[in-house]
A = this chain, B = another copy of it.
Amino acid sequence: MQAPYTNLKTHHKWVEFSAEDTTLNLSNASVEQLQEWKQQLSAEYDNVLARKLNLDLTRGKPSAEQLSLSDAMDGILAGDYITASGIDVRNYGGLEGIPEARAIGSDILGVPVENVLAGGNSSLTLMYQTMAIAHQFGLAGEGSAWSQEGTVKFLCPVPGYDRHYSVCEHLGIEMLTVAMTSTGPDMDQVEKMIAADPSIKGMWCVPKYSNPTGVVYSDETVERIANLGNIAGKNFRVFWDNAYAIHDLSDNPVALANIFEACKAAGTEDSVIQFASTSKVTHAGSGVAFIAASDTNLKFFKLALGFMTIGPDKVNQLRHAKFFAADGALSAHMAKHAAIIKPRFASVLKHLEAAFSDNDLGEWESADGGYFISFDTRPGLAQKVVKLAGDAGVKLTPAGATFPYGKDPQDSNIRIAPTVPTVDQVEEAMQVFVLCVKLASVEQALANS
């Protein structure tokens, strides 16, 4: 398998496990055995085809049930549009966002309020803007633009988030992959690459419940990332997309170390820029996005931002502030999300564990939060599995999407997004998924036998 996960197939205590399947030990199987399996699995697959399913595991977005948790937001202002400090949120201005909204970002990211800017409805926009500004104008003033230094490269831990890659691709930034491990990016590899190549200007990170692997970066990884600024070329910036900072499923979530503090300790405050949003907290299309960064980064970000906008939607920011005003309101709200999502994740994991825990047909990482479960087939089978499932009415994210330029060199990673379908639909879809992995694996083993 391509990703050197060291802690695979973790049994999640909150998942009900039942061994329901024949162990498919392909490595030791005879051709006859393989043929028999193929026949059985093909028959099962034909039965599924006949059912003409229409299921979808592609969309990493909240379900309607989750969205409804925040429906009280519209109307929450009750005619009061003035902030505690007297800002009329209805009017123009306030590039940094209102203090109350910045405080939410501060809570989520563990960064002082003065280092947080609360923006519009999209952290992707903030990330795009930050990268475009760093590239074209620089985040440290005169002479700091990446574009002045020729080729610009970015490290991308894989598998990762396709929209991160497409920002780089759009802006002409070359992507280099590094492997994800169960503790985060392979830091030996990262440090080696960065020390050897000053044209590497940064790295994408989803440090908690990484998209799609679900990995939470270890304390050591966070510390080593904070130290990259000391070994990297000029104007190096880690893009720390903490999209799932508060999206825990487990009752005892792993804590992510504070990168802002770690950078301070390492003297590299300018080397990491953090992002978050309430998109998967309140309403996905109308949340509030945050950027958190050092004084210098924020200063030059705002300088450029001021040419692009007069300010964010402060009315919506105030709605969020009122919605989460009570002590503990945010975490209580996230617990409601978890209660909705958890059975769906449990269903996925139950099927994966039942089918693959005692064979080598697939691997997956922990999934104690976030929106995805990442599955690795045997090399060369991801596209095949996605096609088989699609033909059987179960839509999966295209294989390769979790890699830069859409190319998974091992053709093995598949991202499973179970939040939108109902639990019953996830159950049904996962039965098909498991079947397709088995069928594809057996056919491959036969072809190679």
Contact = CB atoms under 8 A, between A and B. Distances in A.
A304 B170 contact: yes
Given A61-B91, A319-B74, A285 B307 contact: no
Copies of this chain, how many? Answer: 2
Nearest to A71: B79
A91 B283 contact: yes
A170 B307 contact: yes
B308 A285 contact: no
Best-surrounded residue of A79, A81, A92, A163 (most CB of chain B within 10 A): A92
A315 interface: yes
Interface stretch (A34-42, A117-125, A206-214, A330-338): A117-125
Contact of A313 (B77, B88, B121, B308): B121
A284 B71 contact: no
B316 A286 contact: yes
Best-surrounded residue of A61, A128, A315 (most CB of chain B within 10 A): A315
Interface in A283-336: 283-286, 304, 307-316, 319
A372 B142 CA distance: 36
Interface in A76-102: 76-79, 81, 88-94
A93 B59 CA distance: 11
A120 B287 CA distance: 12
Interface string A392-420: 00000000000000000000000000000
A83 to B, nearest CB: 12
A62 B88 CA distance: 11
Nearest to A170: B307
A29 interface: no
A446 interface: no
Contact of A74 (B67, B70, B77): B77
Contacts of A309: 122, 124-125, 128
A434 to B, nearest CB: 28
A286 B307 contact: no
A78 B74 CA distance: 7
A411 to B, nearest CB: 25
Nearest to A315: B286
A167 interface: yes
A216 B81 CA distance: 35
B315 A93 contact: no
A431 interface: no
A67 B79 CA distance: 11
A279 interface: yes
A91 B71 contact: no
Nearest to A168: B307
Given A74-B315, A124-B310, A279 B170 contact: no
B128 A308 contact: yes
Contacts of A311: 122, 285
Best-surrounded residue of A62, A81, A167, A314 (most CB of chain B within 10 A): A81
17 contacts: A61-B93, A67-B88, A71-B79, A74-B319, A89-B283, A90-B285, A91-B284, A94-B285, A122-B311, A128-B307, A128-B308, A167-B307, A170-B307, A283-B315, A285-B310, A285-B315, A313-B313
Interface of A: 61-62, 64, 67, 70-71, 74-79, 81, 88-94, 120-122, 124-125, 128-129, 132, 163, 166-167, 170, 279, 283-286, 304, 307-316, 319
Given A71-B90, A120-B313, A124-B310, 10 more contacts: A61-B92, A75-B78, A81-B283, A92-B279, A121-B313, A122-B311, A128-B309, A167-B307, A285-B310, A285-B312
